[in-house]
Amino acid sequence: RQRVGNETFVAKLNPLLPVQPLVNTRRCKWILTCAGLSEFPLQLVLLGSSEGLMRYEYNGKQYDVLPGTIHAMDVLDESCIIKVSASVSSQHPPDPPSLRVVLLQPTTCARGFLYYQGGCYTASGSRQSFKDFSSSILGSAQLASFSSMAEISSFITASR
């Protein structure tokens, strides 16, 4: 288990499972557990590769994550298990798919996120419909809303 700021990564081989050589770097699978985390509820964000499709299973439901987008969820206790799989097409370089897991905490945002007026914000360069976006955040995040140009200017200034 390695903790870097508010991003937690678990990379541990199970000694009971045979280790197989990495033959196909275009597909990867991860199993994330929340055991050992102490503060609940918390918000967890999955960020996948910008080139490939990612799918994950959480609380018995499967979700697809489009390339370059994020999925956010509320984690209520340490019993959570999230199964993630990702793949890239043969048209892309032979780099394996990547996964970044971010734990959003009050007053602290992860690398690539902006803390602004009590919340963590991020922007994506990927086009996405509002319907797709709202289903990707599973009710655990919100769109930023502004009531004046001054607020928009302040947000832009804070993001630089």
What pLDDT score was predicted for residue 8? 41
| Extents of the domains making up the chain | 2-158
The amino acid at 11: A
HEC sequence for 4-38: ECCEEECCCCCCCCCCCCCCCCCEEEEEEECCCCC
pLDDT for res 87: 77
Q: What is the pLDDT of residue 154?
A: 84
Distance CA 51, CA 59 (A): 26
Nearest CA-CA partner of 116 in 124, 125, 107, 128: 107
Query: Tens digit of pLDDT per residue, the chain (160 long)?
Result: 333 444 444 444 454 555 554 455 567 788 888 887 777 777 788 877 667 778 889 888 898 877 777 777 888 888 888 888 887 766 655 566 777 777 776 666 666 676 667 666 666 565 666 566 555 555 555 566 677 888 888 877 876 6
Alpha-carbon distance of 121 to 139, in angstroms, equals: 15
Say what the pTM is: 0.59
Q: Calculate Rg over the CA atoms of the chain.
A: 17
